[in-house]
Structure 1
Amino acid sequence: MGGGQQPYVGVAERRTRLALRHRLAPAARGAYPEEVADALVALHGTDPATVYLAVGARLAERAKTVAETERALYTDRALVRMHGMRHTVFVFPTELTAVVHASTGLAVAARERASLVKDMAKAGAPDAAWLKEVEESTLGALARRGEATAAELAQDEPRLREQFAYAAGKSYAGVHTVSSRLLRVLGVEGKVVRGRPLGSWTSTQARWALAPEHPELDVAEAQTALLRRWLTACGPATESDLKWWTGWRVTEVRRALAAIGAQEVRLDEGTGYVVDGDTEPVTVPVEPWAALLPALDPTAMGWQLRDWFLAPDLRPALFDRSGNVGPTVWWDGRVVGGWAQRPDGEIAWRVLDGAGVGREAQSAIEAEAARLREWVGTTRVTPRFRTPLERELAR
């Protein structure tokens, strides 16, 4: 990965790559959700609305967003919503299912199952053999139904309704149902995925479906494949960025970097990495662009070190206490403010002090806000993780 003078990749070059590779510049927008997901590798799926808003911001014909995204997710199954990096729910291209499961899911799955068995044992609940019976019965019921809610599955397998105490004597003590914990375990094990929601595209209540069949891959090979895919879309990135995004140990990151023959480059924050042959500047001209991206957008959440597109003094207003980014306003490759939807449907936005944008930016942002309002229409979207500026603007 080393050897010789490292090429320098400056902020302007990184912003140009972001505009084109993340389909944010108008000329780079995609025609279908599959193109957007492929370009970004993963769409954050913890908040279901984020998936649609992130796709819509990057489609040439925004009006198609909901219908086309639902088609890709639930009809063609070209995209799948499942657990991935950092124990978080994402939407991935279906062909990445095996890669994500092997590279990031196996270790988490083992811990989740062990934790469930341990918690049930502490509560005096049935043992692991009983749990295995319930699991097999539940998967059989899901296969027959195609898609189902936890309540529907409990009609076929009543043992899913059984409850057990959790963390007795602790401040966070409570009661869990077998269904809530078991379906979560099956999700991280790659056996089930989120299905069609109950209600509209903003609904947080989803049905479950069997996961697409996929081969079991070698962990190291899967990590190499995922890192190559992500670095192609998001490079350059630092070792810290890669460790944070994947959730892997640093030794795993370094092994995968070596396996793909990643090239070192100089960044303002230190050493970064790109895939082999990706050190030359982008020559495609990019006109200044504006975008209104949703909370948890994969671009805003793509790197741990964000100074090259987000000034540190803007962060208190735009992030919650857990590090989740809220809705952001972008101008020409950097975050300049935030936005929210008010109860009457208006898209309110604000450029934060010190962002330093002119009339061209103001006009472009206003046009994007109007485009967003026209598309969203009567739907009301409230981020699952709310941030100070979003709460203020939403009043």
Structure 2
Amino acid sequence: MTVLTDRALGRATLARQLLLDPADMPAEDAVAHLGGLQAQEPQEPFVGLWSRLRGFDPSHLSGLLIGRRVVRTHLMRRTVHLVTAADSLAWRSRHDTMLRQRVLGTYRRELAGVDLDELAAAGRAVMADAEPRTMSELVRAVEARWPTAGRRALGEMLIAALVPVAQIPPRGLWRTRTGVRNVLLSAWLGREIAPPAPDTSDPVGQALVRRYLAAYGPATSADLRAWCGLAGLPVAVAAVRAELVSFRDEHGRELLDLPDAPRPGPDTPAPVRFLPAFDNAILGYRYRERIIDDAHRGLSVAGERAVLVDGRVAASWKVDRDATVTITPLRRLTPAERSKTTEQGQALAAFLSDNDSDRAEIAESASD
């Protein structure tokens, strides 16, 4: 079986994630191709698409949110994702059990004695009028029935698991900072959520496998689970295995992939790319050696923004109030790498400031 090195897998990730060459595609198509963008920080998807799309205009993404073509909702890994309307409706039921279990894993004690089906029914009844509500407003409407339950626990269980909702604009619009207001997902999109499939071969799971490999492959089954958070996908993987090709990574793990998906050579040039916080190019894997050193693995989980140099995380970045992008290397950068990183940082500063600033600087790291 062919062995793919971490470097080769990294190049495949860059190609699938639209980070090797800027893609000429509409923002909606990019969101669909990527299987959504993690969006718990509302402004981060704009940087994610800027790094991936040629000539990306942030107003286009805002327009998709306002036009209900894309939606902010809890989905993969119980985190808020920006996904297409079609994917949110098709995938939500398949994620219900995982969402419930993950909230219970955090709040089991506070939810002791709460019948979750009754809580779900109460939440849906309150939200049935399609009036936007904050989590606190929803909890106040139902908490009298469960006076011993923790308020935060009730809210998280309702909003993140039991009641499929959309976080509606202006939340998530370009340069807009506002609180979260929720509306029933089906009411916001004007379509019902697809019910759980009765087919034991798990057709929704099969679709998730194919979509994941298109945007992240080659990858292990554990990587797939790390991306979506779903434990019950072995049946779906088995159902599509005949369509797939197999490899090994240099650590001996089996990798699955779509046969005709791009797998560039390990020496393919990789441009500098700035990633937003919590980007799935990093978090979408259980085994992340292809793109980040183990020593820096915690940076992305902590919300640090990463800079890819030669296809790997080599620095973090932040933007100050004066729109200066400051880059902090994680390793010594060569003069050529410093130049290219500064140049791309200047382009990012211009994007974030509507061309009012092109200031970017590399901070001195401990290794310099």
TM-score bracket relative to the smaller structure: 0.7 to 0.9
Please give the alpha-carbon distance, in whole angstroms, between the structure 2 residues aligned to 1:162 and 1:332. Answer: 56
Task: Name the SS of the counterpart of 2:3 in structure 1.
Answer: coil
Instruction: Indicate whether 1:19 and 2:14 are aligned.
Output: yes
Cα distance, 1:130–1:226 mapped onto 2, change above 3 Å: closer
**Counterpart position of 1:192:** 165
Rounded to whole Å, the distance in 1 between the matches of 2:166 and 2:55 is: 28
1:259 aligns with 2:232: no
Matched, 1:38 2:32: yes
- Say if 1:260 and 1:341 are closer, same or farther in 2 by CA, change over 3 A: same
* 1:293-312 C-alpha deviation (Å, 9 max, x unpaired): 11101112121211222122
Deviations 1:180-217 (A, max 9, x none): 83575254245322111459645362221221423213
Q: SS at 2:183's partner residue?
A: strand
Q: Secondary structure at the match of 2:82?
A: strand
1:260 and 1:276 in contact (8 A); partners too: no
Q: Is structure 2 residue 189 aligned with structure 1 residue 217? A: no
**Residues of 2 paired with 1:370 and 1:10: CA distance?**
33
Change (3 A) 1:311 1:275: closer
Pick the aligned partner of 2:347 from 363, 371, 393.
371
Amino acid of the residue matched to residue 194 of structure 2? Answer: P
Match of 1:141 in 2: 129
Task: State the one-letter code of the partner of 2:19.
Answer: L
* Structure 1 unaligned blocks of 5 or more: 1-5, 168-174, 380-388
State the alpha-carbon separation in 2 of the partners of residues 359 and 295 from structure 1: 26
Counterparts in 2 of 1:113-132, with a 5 A limit? 119=110, 131=119
For the structure 1 residues 116 and 350, does the alpha-carbon distance in structure 2 shift closer, same or farther, using more than 3 Å as the test?
Answer: closer
Corresponding residue for residue 79 of structure 1: 70
TM-score normalized by the length of structure 1: 0.74
Instruction: Determine the structure 2 residue equivalent to 1:170.
Output: none
Quote the Cα distance in structure 2 between the aligned partners of 1:118 and 1:16: 45
Deviation at 1:116, TM superposition (A): 8.8
Give the superposition deviation at 1:8.
2.4
Distance across 2 between alignment mates of 1:238 and 1:281: 15
Gap change, CA 1:285 and 1:72, over 3 Å in 2: farther
Return the TM-score normalized by structure 2. Answer: 0.79
Alpha-carbon distance in structure 2 between the residues aligned to 1:47 and 1:163: 33
Alignment partners' CA distance in 2, 1:352 and 1:129: 48
Contact 1:109 1:185 in 2 (8 A): no
1:329 counterpart residue number: 307
Aligned residue for 2:270, secondary structure, equals: coil
The RMSD of aligned alpha carbons is 3.8
Question: Given that residues 98 and 217 in structure 1 are in contact (C-alpha distance below 8 angstroms), is that contact kept between their aligned partners in structure 2?
Answer: no
Number of the residue aligned with 2:224 = 242
Question: After superposition, where does 1:1-395 map in structure 2 within 5 Å?
Answer: 6-25=1-20, 27-62=21-56, 64-65=57-58, 67-75=59-67, 77-109=68-100, 119=110, 131=119, 134-142=122-130, 145=131, 147-150=132-135, 159-160=141-142, 176=151, 181-182=154-155, 184-189=157-162, 191-197=164-170, 201=174, 203=177, 205-212=179-186, 213-218=192-197, 220-249=202-231, 252-261=232-241, 262-278=244-260, 281-282=263-264, 287-315=269-297, 318-319=299-300, 323-354=301-332, 357-377=333-353
Deviations 1:127-185 (A, max 9, x none): 8898567434422221xx4x44457x66xx97357596667xxxxxxx517xx835752
Check the 8 A contact 1:328/1:338 in 2, yes or no.
Answer: yes
1:12-48 deviation digits (Å, cap 9, x = unpaired): 43233222221113x3334432132122112112221
Q: Deviations over 1:273-322 (max 9, x none)?
A: 33342487447995430111111011121212112221223346x35xxx
The answer to whether the 8 Å contact 1:99/1:223 transfers is no
Alpha carbons of structure 1 residues 349 and 138: separation in structure 2 relative to 1, 3 Å: same
